[in-house]
């Protein structure tokens, strides 16, 4: 038996329109969410206005100034590489004409560079040193950072402060003692001094990774320990994968530092067969300078070949790199 319908109260025109709008919004909400529970009153959903639907960011003076600053900064940063790339396609007489579009376009420089210098050998030496340096410093720094972040032991704070204090020592202070150590080990003239020092970690990377480890919930490792995981398993299988952005940043930073390093190859390398690319470019400059002919087209072409791998590597790890930089230092 149907219940009798009650008469609807008469409302003024404005209030009646508002009530009808509220009823329509309530019906739409019921249709979207399903049947209401018994005794539950429907909630009116305010209708979106046209102004809210068409809201877009306004191009005020401040926004235009920020965009102009970013464009100018981008041009300033990429102009040297564009000039270098353009100069690599020019003959020797036009290298320094400061024209981004070469008048005489030639590919001969990219063919001659492999004949003027053992670029393949130098690139192989550089790649070997770079991979070893990046992998060793990442693993060793991560282990030290994990120890400072997870374990509780006496004088943990002062010891970590002592590690950070080593960042204040200039490289020139430890250059001579380090050379004497490698010389006594008979390693001068080999590639070993260029990467083996990273086995002991880096203070900057230890700080970077520790901040990420401190952001991980400790309960996660307590649960893993209950399941039978030891300290090494928790570090290698849980902590390190969860800190992938920081690991990628460490690898990229050290890869770039080792790839472009010139000081240590100048100190330790003697034979051209062990040269890295930066040391080889310095040898080319010395050779052409003493001979009276500056083959700048060969030098700039070799510089382009050296720079391209770093650009490719950065684009591969760009997402993790930006994420790691953005979240560094937010914990701990």
Q: What is the CATH number of the domain that holds 163?
A: 1.10.3720.10
Question: Are 102 and 161 found together in one domain?
Answer: no
What is the pLDDT, as a whole number, of residue 291? 53
What is the pLDDT, as a whole number, of residue 3? 46
* 264-294 as b/e: b if 16+ CB within 10 A: bbeebbeeeebbbbbbbbbbbeeebeeeeee
Question: Are 300 and 232 found together in one domain?
Answer: yes
Question: Are 78 and 224 found together in one domain?
Answer: no
Residue 277 within any structural domain of the chain: yes
Residue 27 within any structural domain of the chain: no
What is the pLDDT, as a whole number, of residue 144? 95
Residue 7 within any structural domain of the chain: no
Residues lower than pLDDT 70 in the chain: 1-57, 288-293, 321, 323-332
Task: List the Cα angle 258/297/272 in 5-degree steps.
Answer: 45
133 burial via Cβ count (<10 Å: 0-12, 13-18, 19+) = buried
Structural domain tally of the chain?
2
Last residue of a domain, one of 87, 106, 125: 106
Question: Are 164 and 85 found together in one domain?
Answer: no
Exposure of 315 in the CB half-sphere (CA atoms within 13 A) = 5
d(CA 118, CA 245): 36
Question: Are 232 and 138 found together in one domain?
Answer: yes
Question: Are 172 and 194 found together in one domain?
Answer: yes
Question: Are 173 and 315 found together in one domain?
Answer: yes
Question: Are 220 and 248 found together in one domain?
Answer: yes
Q: Note the helical H segments in 103-215.
A: 108-116, 119-150, 156-165, 171-184, 203-214
Task: List the Cα angle 303/307/309 in 5-degree steps.
Answer: 135
Question: Are 66 and 188 found together in one domain?
Answer: no
Q: Phi, psi (5° rounding) for residue 172?
A: -65, -25
Question: Are 272 and 301 found together in one domain?
Answer: yes
Residue 257 within any structural domain of the chain: yes
d(CA 80, CA 59): 31
Residue-wise pLDDT for 289-316, tens only, equals: 655 567 788 888 988 998 998 888 888 8
What is the pLDDT, as a whole number, of residue 209? 94
What does the mean pLDDT of the chain come to? 81
d(CA 127, CA 132): 8
Q: Between the CA atoms of 82, 85, 89 and 90, what dihedral angle is there, to the nearest 10 degrees?
A: 60
78 burial via Cβ count (<10 Å: 0-12, 13-18, 19+) = exposed
- The residue range of the domain holding 243 is 117-327
Residue 196 within any structural domain of the chain: yes
Q: Are 62 and 36 in contact (CB under 8 A)?
A: no
Residue 41 within any structural domain of the chain: no
pTM value is 0.74
Task: Name residues whose C-beta falls within 8 Å of residue 83's C-beta, 6 or more positions apart in sequence.
Answer: 98, 100
Question: Are 179 and 82 found together in one domain?
Answer: no
Q: Are 85 and 308 in contact (CB under 8 A)?
A: no
Question: Are 122 and 99 found together in one domain?
Answer: no
Residue-wise pLDDT for 42-53, tens only, equals: 555 455 554 545
Q: Are 267 and 233 in contact (CB under 8 A)?
A: no
What is the pLDDT, as a whole number, of residue 331? 47
What is the pLDDT, as a whole number, of residue 39? 52
What is the pLDDT, as a whole number, of residue 148? 95
């Amino acid at each position: 038996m149907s219940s009798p319908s009650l008469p609807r109260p008469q409302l003024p025109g404005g209030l009646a329109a508002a009530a009808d709008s509220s009823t329509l919004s309530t019906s739409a909400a019921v249709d979207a969410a399903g049947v209401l529970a018994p005794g539950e009153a429907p909630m009116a959903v305010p209708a979106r206005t046209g102004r809210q639907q068409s809201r877009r960011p306004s191009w005020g003076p401040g926004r235009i100034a920020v965009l102009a600053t970013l464009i100018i900064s981008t041009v300033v940063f990429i102009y040297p590489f564009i000039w270098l790339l353009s100069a690599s396609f020019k003959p020797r007489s036009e290298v320094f004409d400061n024209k981004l579009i070469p008048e005489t376009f030639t590919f001969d420089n990219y063919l001659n560079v492999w004949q003027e210098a053992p670029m393949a050998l130098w690139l192989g030496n550089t790649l070997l040193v770079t991979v070893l340096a990046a992998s060793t410093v990442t693993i060793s720094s991560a282990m030290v950072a994990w120890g400072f972040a997870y374990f509780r032991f006496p004088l943990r704070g002062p010891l970590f402060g002592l590690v950070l204090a080593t960042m204040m020592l200039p490289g020139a202070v430890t250059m001579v003692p380090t050379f004497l150590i490698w010389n006594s080990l008979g390693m001068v003239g080999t590639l070993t001094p260029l990467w083996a020092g990273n086995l002991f970690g880096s203070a900057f990377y230890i700080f970077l990774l520790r901040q990420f480890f401190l952001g991980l919930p400790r309960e996660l490792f307590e649960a893993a320990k209950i399941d039978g995981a030891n300290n090494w398993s928790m570090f290698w299988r849980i902590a390190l994968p969860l800190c992938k952005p920081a690991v990628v940043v460490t690898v990229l930073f050290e890869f770039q530092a080792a790839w472009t390093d010139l000081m240590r190859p100048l100190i330790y390398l003697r034979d051209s067969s062990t040269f890295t690319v930066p040391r080889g470019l310095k040898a080319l400059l010395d050779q052409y300078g003493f001979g009276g002919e500056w083959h700048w087209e060969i030098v700039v072409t070799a510089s382009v070949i050296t720079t391209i791998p770093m650009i490719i590597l950065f684009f591969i790890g760009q997402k993790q790199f930006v994420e790691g930089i953005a979240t560094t230092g937010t914990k701990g």
